[in-house]
Amino acid sequence: MRLVGLCAALLLLCLTAAQAAPKDDIYDEQELIPLQGSYLRGWRDNYDNVFAPRFTEEERRRLARVEFRMERRVPGFEPFAFLYRRDLNQVIVSAASLLFLEDVMYAYAWLNVKNYDIQSVGDYLMMLRYWDPARGRPPKPLDALCIKRDPADQKVADFAARGFNIAVVFALLHEYGHAFHRHEGNAAVAPAVSRTNEEAADRFALDVIARTGEVPIGVTELFFIMGYLFENRADFTSDAAYQQSLGARTHPLSPQRLQAFAQHLSSASGAYAQAFKPGAKASAMLLATMIQTLSLRVADESTQRFSAMIGHTVSPDDLAPRQKGVHLAPPCRARAATGQSFDGYHRGEVVLGRTPFTMDTVLERYGDSVSGSYSYGAGFGRLKGEVRGDTLTYRWSMGRTSGNGVLTLQDGRYRGTFGSGTANSGEGTIAISKAQ
Protein backbone atom coordinates (compact mmCIF):
# COMPACT_ATOMS: atom_id res chain seq x y z
CA MET A 1 0.00 0.00 0.00
CA ARG A 2 1.11 3.56 -0.54
CA LEU A 3 -0.29 6.54 1.28
CA VAL A 4 0.08 9.71 -0.74
CA GLY A 5 1.74 12.36 1.43
CA LEU A 6 -0.69 15.05 2.48
CA CYS A 7 1.97 17.32 3.97
CA ALA A 8 2.72 20.63 2.29
CA ALA A 9 5.37 23.28 2.75
CA LEU A 10 4.33 26.14 5.00
CA LEU A 11 4.38 29.72 3.77
CA LEU A 12 5.72 32.74 5.60
CA LEU A 13 3.23 34.41 7.90
CA CYS A 14 1.30 37.40 6.68
CA LEU A 15 0.07 39.84 9.30
CA THR A 16 -3.66 39.96 8.68
CA ALA A 17 -6.34 41.25 11.03
CA ALA A 18 -8.38 38.50 12.65
CA GLN A 19 -11.91 38.25 11.29
CA ALA A 20 -13.20 35.14 13.08
CA ALA A 21 -13.44 33.66 16.55
CA PRO A 22 -10.00 33.02 18.08
CA LYS A 23 -9.93 29.24 17.53
CA ASP A 24 -11.18 29.70 13.97
CA ASP A 25 -8.39 32.13 13.23
CA ILE A 26 -5.21 30.40 14.39
CA TYR A 27 -3.85 30.56 10.82
CA ASP A 28 -3.79 33.39 8.30
CA GLU A 29 -5.85 33.16 5.14
CA GLN A 30 -2.71 33.49 3.03
CA GLU A 31 -1.32 30.31 4.58
CA LEU A 32 -4.45 28.34 3.79
CA ILE A 33 -5.00 29.33 0.16
CA PRO A 34 -2.25 27.14 -1.37
CA LEU A 35 -2.71 24.35 1.18
CA GLN A 36 -6.39 24.01 0.33
CA GLY A 37 -5.56 22.72 -3.17
CA SER A 38 -2.58 20.67 -2.02
CA TYR A 39 -4.53 18.85 0.68
CA LEU A 40 -7.46 18.30 -1.71
CA ARG A 41 -5.23 16.67 -4.34
CA GLY A 42 -3.58 14.49 -1.69
CA TRP A 43 -6.85 13.16 -0.35
CA ARG A 44 -8.40 12.57 -3.78
CA ASP A 45 -5.31 10.61 -4.81
CA ASN A 46 -5.58 8.48 -1.67
CA TYR A 47 -9.32 7.99 -2.02
CA ASP A 48 -9.30 7.12 -5.73
CA ASN A 49 -6.16 4.98 -5.84
CA VAL A 50 -5.85 3.45 -2.36
CA PHE A 51 -9.23 3.15 -0.69
CA ALA A 52 -12.00 3.16 -3.31
CA PRO A 53 -10.54 0.07 -5.05
CA ARG A 54 -10.85 -1.79 -1.73
CA PHE A 55 -14.47 -0.84 -1.05
CA THR A 56 -17.07 -3.59 -1.16
CA GLU A 57 -19.79 -3.32 -3.77
CA GLU A 58 -22.25 -2.10 -1.13
CA GLU A 59 -19.79 0.55 0.10
CA ARG A 60 -19.13 1.68 -3.45
CA ARG A 61 -22.86 1.97 -4.13
CA ARG A 62 -23.71 3.87 -0.94
CA LEU A 63 -20.78 6.29 -1.24
CA ALA A 64 -21.08 6.93 -4.99
CA ARG A 65 -23.03 10.16 -4.56
CA VAL A 66 -21.16 11.51 -1.54
CA GLU A 67 -19.39 14.78 -2.33
CA PHE A 68 -16.12 15.88 -0.78
CA ARG A 69 -15.49 19.53 0.09
CA MET A 70 -12.20 21.07 1.15
CA GLU A 71 -12.84 24.45 2.80
CA ARG A 72 -10.16 26.86 3.96
CA ARG A 73 -11.78 26.97 7.40
CA VAL A 74 -15.14 26.04 8.92
CA PRO A 75 -16.08 28.71 11.49
CA GLY A 76 -17.30 27.32 14.76
CA PHE A 77 -15.62 23.95 14.28
CA GLU A 78 -11.91 24.80 14.20
CA PRO A 79 -9.38 23.44 14.82
CA PHE A 80 -11.11 20.08 14.31
CA ALA A 81 -13.41 20.57 11.33
CA PHE A 82 -14.06 17.04 10.06
CA LEU A 83 -17.77 16.75 9.24
CA TYR A 84 -20.45 14.76 7.45
CA ARG A 85 -23.52 16.74 6.46
CA ARG A 86 -26.37 14.35 5.76
CA ASP A 87 -28.61 17.12 4.42
CA LEU A 88 -25.98 17.91 1.78
CA ASN A 89 -24.57 14.38 1.54
CA GLN A 90 -21.11 15.89 1.86
CA VAL A 91 -17.93 15.08 3.75
CA ILE A 92 -16.34 18.38 4.70
CA VAL A 93 -12.86 19.16 6.05
CA SER A 94 -10.90 22.39 6.35
CA ALA A 95 -7.34 23.20 5.36
CA ALA A 96 -7.00 25.02 8.70
CA SER A 97 -7.81 21.82 10.62
CA LEU A 98 -5.45 19.75 8.50
CA LEU A 99 -2.64 22.26 9.01
CA PHE A 100 -3.33 22.29 12.75
CA LEU A 101 -3.19 18.49 12.84
CA GLU A 102 -0.02 18.51 10.74
CA ASP A 103 1.66 20.98 13.10
CA VAL A 104 0.67 19.05 16.23
CA MET A 105 1.86 15.77 14.70
CA TYR A 106 5.17 17.41 13.82
CA ALA A 107 5.49 18.63 17.42
CA TYR A 108 4.85 15.11 18.76
CA ALA A 109 7.45 13.71 16.37
CA TRP A 110 10.06 16.39 17.14
CA LEU A 111 9.72 15.99 20.92
CA ASN A 112 9.83 12.19 20.66
CA VAL A 113 12.91 12.12 18.43
CA LYS A 114 14.74 14.73 20.54
CA ASN A 115 13.80 12.81 23.72
CA TYR A 116 11.80 15.67 25.26
CA ASP A 117 8.60 15.27 27.26
CA ILE A 118 5.57 15.19 24.94
CA GLN A 119 3.31 16.48 27.73
CA SER A 120 3.98 20.04 26.55
CA VAL A 121 1.82 19.25 23.50
CA GLY A 122 -1.01 18.22 25.78
CA ASP A 123 -0.50 21.41 27.82
CA TYR A 124 -0.80 23.48 24.63
CA LEU A 125 -4.02 21.73 23.61
CA MET A 126 -5.52 22.24 27.07
CA MET A 127 -4.52 25.91 26.96
CA LEU A 128 -6.33 26.20 23.66
CA ARG A 129 -9.41 24.46 25.09
CA TYR A 130 -9.79 27.15 27.75
CA TRP A 131 -8.47 30.05 25.69
CA ASP A 132 -10.05 33.35 26.70
CA PRO A 133 -10.99 35.41 23.60
CA ALA A 134 -9.96 38.52 25.55
CA ARG A 135 -6.36 37.33 25.16
CA GLY A 136 -6.65 37.74 21.40
CA ARG A 137 -5.51 35.23 18.84
CA PRO A 138 -4.15 31.90 20.13
CA PRO A 139 -0.59 31.01 19.13
CA LYS A 140 0.02 28.36 16.49
CA PRO A 141 1.19 24.98 17.80
CA LEU A 142 4.80 25.13 16.65
CA ASP A 143 5.21 28.79 17.63
CA ALA A 144 3.89 28.14 21.13
CA LEU A 145 6.02 25.01 21.56
CA CYS A 146 9.19 26.71 20.26
CA ILE A 147 9.66 24.13 17.51
CA LYS A 148 10.84 24.99 14.00
CA ARG A 149 10.45 22.76 11.00
CA ASP A 150 13.80 21.50 9.76
CA PRO A 151 13.60 20.03 6.23
CA ALA A 152 17.03 18.46 6.76
CA ASP A 153 15.87 16.42 9.77
CA GLN A 154 14.53 13.45 7.84
CA LYS A 155 13.91 11.32 10.92
CA VAL A 156 11.49 13.85 12.40
CA ALA A 157 9.89 14.53 9.01
CA ASP A 158 9.24 10.83 8.34
CA PHE A 159 7.92 10.23 11.85
CA ALA A 160 5.58 13.22 11.57
CA ALA A 161 4.39 12.46 8.03
CA ARG A 162 3.49 8.87 8.85
CA GLY A 163 1.45 9.85 11.90
CA PHE A 164 -0.23 12.75 10.10
CA ASN A 165 -1.16 10.78 6.99
CA ILE A 166 -2.68 7.88 8.93
CA ALA A 167 -4.53 10.23 11.31
CA VAL A 168 -6.05 12.17 8.39
CA VAL A 169 -6.97 8.96 6.58
CA PHE A 170 -8.74 7.65 9.68
CA ALA A 171 -10.52 10.96 10.39
CA LEU A 172 -11.84 11.24 6.83
CA LEU A 173 -12.77 7.57 6.48
CA HIS A 174 -14.61 7.98 9.78
CA GLU A 175 -16.72 10.70 8.13
CA TYR A 176 -17.30 8.44 5.13
CA GLY A 177 -18.46 5.87 7.68
CA HIS A 178 -21.15 8.31 8.79
CA ALA A 179 -22.05 8.80 5.12
CA PHE A 180 -22.20 5.04 4.55
CA HIS A 181 -24.62 4.63 7.47
CA ARG A 182 -26.47 7.90 6.65
CA HIS A 183 -26.14 9.07 10.24
CA GLU A 184 -27.88 12.17 11.50
CA GLY A 185 -25.69 14.77 13.17
CA ASN A 186 -24.98 14.14 16.85
CA ALA A 187 -26.99 17.19 17.90
CA ALA A 188 -30.08 15.63 16.32
CA VAL A 189 -29.97 12.32 18.19
CA ALA A 190 -29.88 11.10 21.79
CA PRO A 191 -26.43 10.71 23.44
CA ALA A 192 -26.70 6.90 23.37
CA VAL A 193 -27.41 6.98 19.63
CA SER A 194 -24.56 9.42 19.13
CA ARG A 195 -22.11 7.04 20.83
CA THR A 196 -23.36 4.13 18.74
CA ASN A 197 -22.96 6.17 15.56
CA GLU A 198 -19.40 7.15 16.43
CA GLU A 199 -18.46 3.55 17.14
CA ALA A 200 -19.96 2.44 13.81
CA ALA A 201 -18.04 5.14 11.92
CA ASP A 202 -14.83 4.12 13.72
CA ARG A 203 -15.36 0.49 12.71
CA PHE A 204 -15.93 1.49 9.10
CA ALA A 205 -12.65 3.45 9.01
CA LEU A 206 -10.69 0.68 10.73
CA ASP A 207 -12.11 -2.01 8.45
CA VAL A 208 -11.16 -0.10 5.29
CA ILE A 209 -7.66 0.65 6.61
CA ALA A 210 -7.23 -3.01 7.61
CA ARG A 211 -7.78 -4.07 3.99
CA THR A 212 -4.62 -2.19 3.10
CA GLY A 213 -2.63 -3.90 5.87
CA GLU A 214 -1.58 -0.50 7.26
CA VAL A 215 -1.66 -0.23 11.07
CA PRO A 216 -3.36 3.08 12.04
CA ILE A 217 -0.61 4.16 14.43
CA GLY A 218 -1.39 7.87 14.08
CA VAL A 219 -4.87 7.29 15.52
CA THR A 220 -3.39 7.19 19.02
CA GLU A 221 -2.16 10.76 18.69
CA LEU A 222 -5.46 11.75 17.07
CA PHE A 223 -7.44 10.52 20.07
CA PHE A 224 -4.99 12.15 22.48
CA ILE A 225 -5.49 15.45 20.64
CA MET A 226 -9.26 15.08 20.91
CA GLY A 227 -9.00 14.11 24.58
CA TYR A 228 -7.02 17.24 25.43
CA LEU A 229 -8.80 19.64 23.10
CA PHE A 230 -12.43 18.94 23.97
CA GLU A 231 -14.12 19.63 27.30
CA ASN A 232 -14.38 16.73 29.73
CA ARG A 233 -16.32 15.64 32.80
CA ALA A 234 -14.44 18.11 35.02
CA ASP A 235 -15.96 21.01 33.07
CA PHE A 236 -19.52 20.13 34.07
CA THR A 237 -21.38 20.22 37.38
CA SER A 238 -23.29 16.99 36.68
CA ASP A 239 -22.91 13.83 34.65
CA ALA A 240 -26.20 14.59 32.88
CA ALA A 241 -24.83 17.91 31.59
CA TYR A 242 -21.64 16.17 30.47
CA GLN A 243 -23.57 13.47 28.60
CA GLN A 244 -25.69 16.14 26.93
CA SER A 245 -22.52 17.90 25.77
CA LEU A 246 -21.13 14.65 24.37
CA GLY A 247 -24.31 14.14 22.37
CA ALA A 248 -24.14 17.66 20.91
CA ARG A 249 -20.53 17.44 19.70
CA THR A 250 -19.46 16.59 16.18
CA HIS A 251 -16.83 14.22 17.58
CA PRO A 252 -17.79 13.02 21.07
CA LEU A 253 -14.89 11.21 22.72
CA SER A 254 -16.34 9.00 25.44
CA PRO A 255 -14.65 6.17 27.36
CA GLN A 256 -17.15 3.79 25.78
CA ARG A 257 -16.17 4.85 22.29
CA LEU A 258 -12.48 4.35 23.02
CA GLN A 259 -13.09 0.95 24.59
CA ALA A 260 -15.15 -0.15 21.59
CA PHE A 261 -12.40 1.07 19.26
CA ALA A 262 -9.74 -0.86 21.18
CA GLN A 263 -11.82 -4.04 21.24
CA HIS A 264 -12.54 -3.89 17.52
CA LEU A 265 -8.90 -3.19 16.69
CA SER A 266 -7.78 -6.08 18.87
CA SER A 267 -10.27 -8.53 17.35
CA ALA A 268 -9.26 -7.46 13.83
CA SER A 269 -5.52 -7.48 14.50
CA GLY A 270 -5.03 -10.57 12.36
CA ALA A 271 -5.96 -8.56 9.29
CA TYR A 272 -2.89 -6.39 9.77
CA ALA A 273 -0.65 -9.46 9.59
CA GLN A 274 -1.27 -9.33 5.84
CA ALA A 275 0.86 -6.19 5.66
CA PHE A 276 4.29 -6.37 4.12
CA LYS A 277 5.76 -4.79 7.24
CA PRO A 278 6.77 -7.35 9.93
CA GLY A 279 5.13 -7.10 13.31
CA ALA A 280 1.92 -5.51 12.05
CA LYS A 281 -0.32 -7.70 14.20
CA ALA A 282 1.72 -6.96 17.32
CA SER A 283 1.61 -3.24 16.47
CA ALA A 284 -2.18 -3.39 16.19
CA MET A 285 -2.41 -5.11 19.59
CA LEU A 286 -0.11 -2.49 21.14
CA LEU A 287 -2.22 0.29 19.67
CA ALA A 288 -5.35 -1.32 21.11
CA THR A 289 -3.70 -1.37 24.56
CA MET A 290 -2.73 2.30 24.27
CA ILE A 291 -6.29 3.28 23.31
CA GLN A 292 -7.67 1.21 26.21
CA THR A 293 -5.33 3.10 28.57
CA LEU A 294 -6.54 6.40 27.16
CA SER A 295 -10.14 5.34 27.78
CA LEU A 296 -9.32 4.93 31.49
CA ARG A 297 -7.83 8.44 31.59
CA VAL A 298 -10.89 9.93 29.91
CA ALA A 299 -13.14 8.12 32.42
CA ASP A 300 -11.20 9.18 35.52
CA GLU A 301 -12.68 12.36 37.02
CA SER A 302 -9.65 13.16 39.17
CA THR A 303 -7.41 12.98 36.09
CA GLN A 304 -9.81 15.23 34.23
CA ARG A 305 -9.85 17.80 37.05
CA PHE A 306 -6.07 17.73 37.00
CA SER A 307 -6.10 18.37 33.24
CA ALA A 308 -8.58 21.22 33.68
CA MET A 309 -6.28 22.88 36.23
CA ILE A 310 -3.40 22.74 33.75
CA GLY A 311 -5.58 24.16 30.99
CA HIS A 312 -6.79 27.05 33.13
CA THR A 313 -3.31 28.04 34.35
CA VAL A 314 -0.90 27.36 31.46
CA SER A 315 0.42 30.19 29.28
CA PRO A 316 2.52 30.15 26.07
CA ASP A 317 5.67 30.90 28.09
CA ASP A 318 5.25 27.58 29.94
CA LEU A 319 5.48 25.45 26.79
CA ALA A 320 9.20 25.47 25.97
CA PRO A 321 10.65 21.96 25.33
CA ARG A 322 11.53 20.31 28.62
CA GLN A 323 13.34 17.15 29.61
CA LYS A 324 11.31 14.15 30.70
CA GLY A 325 10.34 14.42 34.35
CA VAL A 326 10.60 18.22 34.29
CA HIS A 327 7.42 20.27 34.77
CA LEU A 328 8.64 23.64 33.50
CA ALA A 329 11.59 24.90 31.45
CA PRO A 330 12.77 28.48 30.88
CA PRO A 331 10.83 30.20 28.07
CA CYS A 332 12.61 29.81 24.77
CA ARG A 333 12.56 33.58 24.23
CA ALA A 334 13.57 34.52 27.78
CA ARG A 335 16.58 36.69 28.43
CA ALA A 336 19.70 35.01 29.78
CA ALA A 337 19.93 34.68 33.56
CA THR A 338 21.92 37.51 35.16
CA GLY A 339 23.60 35.44 37.84
CA GLN A 340 21.90 37.41 40.60
CA SER A 341 20.08 35.67 43.39
CA PHE A 342 16.40 34.96 42.70
CA ASP A 343 16.99 35.00 38.96
CA GLY A 344 17.04 32.09 36.49
CA TYR A 345 15.88 28.48 36.45
CA HIS A 346 15.57 26.65 39.77
CA ARG A 347 14.66 23.08 40.62
CA GLY A 348 13.89 21.40 43.93
CA GLU A 349 11.05 20.27 46.13
CA VAL A 350 7.77 21.58 47.47
CA VAL A 351 6.08 19.81 50.39
CA LEU A 352 2.31 20.14 50.58
CA GLY A 353 1.21 18.91 53.97
CA ARG A 354 3.45 15.87 54.25
CA THR A 355 3.62 15.05 50.55
CA PRO A 356 6.75 16.10 48.60
CA PHE A 357 6.65 17.04 44.90
CA THR A 358 9.42 17.94 42.50
CA MET A 359 9.09 21.62 41.57
CA ASP A 360 10.54 23.71 38.75
CA THR A 361 10.68 27.49 39.01
CA VAL A 362 11.68 30.20 36.53
CA LEU A 363 12.39 33.62 38.05
CA GLU A 364 13.25 36.97 36.47
CA ARG A 365 14.74 39.73 38.59
CA TYR A 366 14.78 43.43 37.70
CA GLY A 367 16.38 45.44 40.46
CA ASP A 368 14.67 44.26 43.62
CA SER A 369 11.50 43.14 41.83
CA VAL A 370 11.04 39.44 41.03
CA SER A 371 8.38 37.71 38.96
CA GLY A 372 8.17 34.14 37.78
CA SER A 373 6.36 30.89 37.18
CA TYR A 374 6.46 27.50 38.86
CA SER A 375 5.00 24.03 38.47
CA TYR A 376 5.02 20.80 40.43
CA GLY A 377 2.85 18.96 37.92
CA ALA A 378 -0.59 20.15 39.03
CA GLY A 379 -0.85 23.31 36.96
CA PHE A 380 1.23 26.44 36.53
CA GLY A 381 1.54 29.10 39.21
CA ARG A 382 2.74 32.71 39.15
CA LEU A 383 4.55 34.78 41.74
CA LYS A 384 5.61 38.40 42.22
CA GLY A 385 7.65 39.85 45.03
CA GLU A 386 10.42 42.05 46.36
CA VAL A 387 13.94 41.15 47.51
CA ARG A 388 15.38 42.55 50.70
CA GLY A 389 18.89 41.27 51.35
CA ASP A 390 18.76 37.48 51.01
CA THR A 391 14.98 37.19 51.37
CA LEU A 392 12.21 37.28 48.78
CA THR A 393 8.74 38.10 50.04
CA TYR A 394 6.18 37.25 47.37
CA ARG A 395 2.55 36.81 46.41
CA TRP A 396 1.68 33.55 44.63
CA SER A 397 -1.35 32.47 42.63
CA MET A 398 -2.48 29.32 40.85
CA GLY A 399 -5.83 29.62 39.15
CA ARG A 400 -8.32 30.92 41.70
CA THR A 401 -6.15 30.19 44.74
CA SER A 402 -3.50 32.57 46.06
CA GLY A 403 -1.44 33.45 49.10
CA ASN A 404 1.87 34.80 50.37
CA GLY A 405 5.29 33.30 50.86
CA VAL A 406 8.86 33.90 51.99
CA LEU A 407 12.00 32.45 50.39
CA THR A 408 15.48 32.95 51.86
CA LEU A 409 18.89 32.17 50.37
CA GLN A 410 20.84 29.95 52.77
CA ASP A 411 24.16 28.33 51.85
CA GLY A 412 23.42 28.47 48.14
CA ARG A 413 19.93 27.01 48.52
CA TYR A 414 16.58 28.76 48.69
CA ARG A 415 14.29 27.68 51.52
CA GLY A 416 10.95 29.03 52.64
CA THR A 417 7.30 28.65 53.46
CA PHE A 418 4.01 29.72 51.94
CA GLY A 419 0.41 30.04 53.03
CA SER A 420 -3.02 30.89 51.70
CA GLY A 421 -4.82 34.22 51.90
CA THR A 422 -2.65 36.74 53.75
CA ALA A 423 -0.55 34.12 55.56
CA ASN A 424 3.00 33.35 54.40
CA SER A 425 3.13 29.91 56.05
CA GLY A 426 0.87 27.01 56.88
CA GLU A 427 0.39 25.45 53.45
CA GLY A 428 3.84 24.01 52.81
CA THR A 429 7.59 24.41 52.46
CA ILE A 430 9.94 24.98 49.52
CA ALA A 431 13.60 24.03 48.98
CA ILE A 432 15.06 24.82 45.53
CA SER A 433 18.47 25.46 43.96
CA LYS A 434 19.68 27.04 40.75
CA ALA A 435 19.84 24.56 37.91
CA GLN A 436 21.29 24.51 34.41
Spatial distance between the Cα atoms of 356 and 430, rounded to a whole number of angstroms: 9
CB proximity list for 202: less than 8 A, separation 6 or greater: 174, 177, 257, 260, 261, 264
DSSP-derived letter for residue 121 is H
Say how far residue 288 (Cα) sits from the centre of its chain.
20
Residue 137 pLDDT: 92
Cα-only R_g, the chain: 24
- Tell me how far CA of residue 418 lies from CA of 131, 273, 324, in angstroms: 29, 58, 27
Residue 307 pLDDT: 85
Spatial distance between the Cα atoms of 164 and 166, rounded to a whole number of angstroms: 6
CB proximity list for 396: less than 8 A, separation 6 or greater: 374, 381, 382, 383, 402, 403, 404, 405, 418
Closest-CA residue to 261 (of 202, 218, 216, 181): 202
Q: What is the DSSP string of 199-216?
A: HHHHHHHHHHHHTTT---
Q: Residues 344-395: pLDDT tens digits?
A: 999 999 999 889 999 999 999 999 999 999 999 989 999 999 999 999 999 9
Go through the domains of the chain in sequence order and give each one's CATH number: 22-313 (no CATH), 326-434 (2.40.128.120)
CB proximity list for 314: less than 8 A, separation 6 or greater: 123, 124, 126, 127, 379, 380
Residue 20 pLDDT: 41
Residue pLDDT tens, the chain, 436 long: 334 443 332 222 222 233 346 789 999 999 999 999 999 999 999 999 999 999 999 999 999 999 999 999 999 999 999 999 999 999 999 999 999 999 999 999 999 999 999 999 999 999 999 999 999 999 999 999 999 999 999 999 999 999 999 999 999 999 999 999 999 987 788 878 888 899 999 999 999 998 888 888 888 889 999 888 876 666 666 667 666 665 555 566 778 888 988 888 888 777 776 654 566 667 778 888 888 888 888 777 788 888 888 999 999 999 999 999 999 999 998 788 788 999 999 999 999 988 999 999 999 999 999 999 999 998 999 999 999 999 999 999 999 899 999 999 998 899 999 999 999 999 999 999 998 7
Residue 32 pLDDT: 96
Residue 113 pLDDT: 96
Spatial distance between the Cα atoms of 261 and 273, rounded to a whole number of angstroms: 19
What b-and-e string marks burial along 396-420, b requiring 16 or more CB atoms within 10 Å of the CB? bebeeeebbbbbebeeeebbbbbbe
Residue 1 pLDDT: 31
Partner residues linked to 383 by β-bridges: 372, 396
Q: Residues 23-79: pLDDT tens digits?
A: 899 999 999 999 999 999 999 999 999 999 999 999 999 999 999 999 999 999 999
